[in-house]
Amino acid sequence: ETGVTQSPTHLIKTRGQQVTLRCSSQSGHNTVSWYQQALGQGPQFIFQYYREEENGRGNFPPRFSGLQFPNYSSELNVNALELDDSALYLCASSLLGYNEQFFGPGTRLTVL
């Protein structure tokens, strides 16, 4: 059974640029969630995708957007990057309605 994978591991961007982060869900899971974790804080929910549609959203602006593909892999896109977007971005897959989410190792994004 393959776990959740994310790419890239690390990324450096400058303010105003756009970034795409990728996630491959665990086999058999139909739901993917994205979280942002700033240094010293707990992960904050960005949004969740189920059957290729957004299924819930946290308190993040529209410049944070996502996609889920038929194979349940997912992308997180962030436009007009700001310095405060520097964080660890975590992807988690699960079966809809189940509490247990399986997290990937994350992508460390640094915005200069």
Partner 1 sequence: LAKTTQPISMDSYEGQEVNITCSHNNIATNDYITWYQQFPSQGPRFIIQGYKTKVTNEVASLFIPADRKSSTLSLPRVSLSDTAVYYCLVGDLSSGAGSYQLTFGKGTKLSVIP
Closer residue to partner 1 in complex, CB, 67/88: 88
Residue 33 token pair: 């969630």
Closer residue to partner 1 in complex, CB, 75/102: 102
CB-CB contact of 71 with 60 (8 Å): no
Q: At its nearest, how many Å lie between partner 1 and the CB of residue 72?
A: 16
Residues 12-71 binding partner 1 (CB under 8 A) are 33, 35, 40-45, 48, 50, 55-58
Residue located via tokens 């990057």: 81
Please tell me whether residue 97 adopts helix, strand or coil conformation.
coil
Return the half-sphere exposure (C-beta side, CA atoms, 13 A cut-off) of residue 78: 27
Q: Which residues bind partner 1 (CB under 8 A)?
A: 4, 33, 35, 40-45, 48, 50, 55-58, 88, 90-92, 96-106, 108
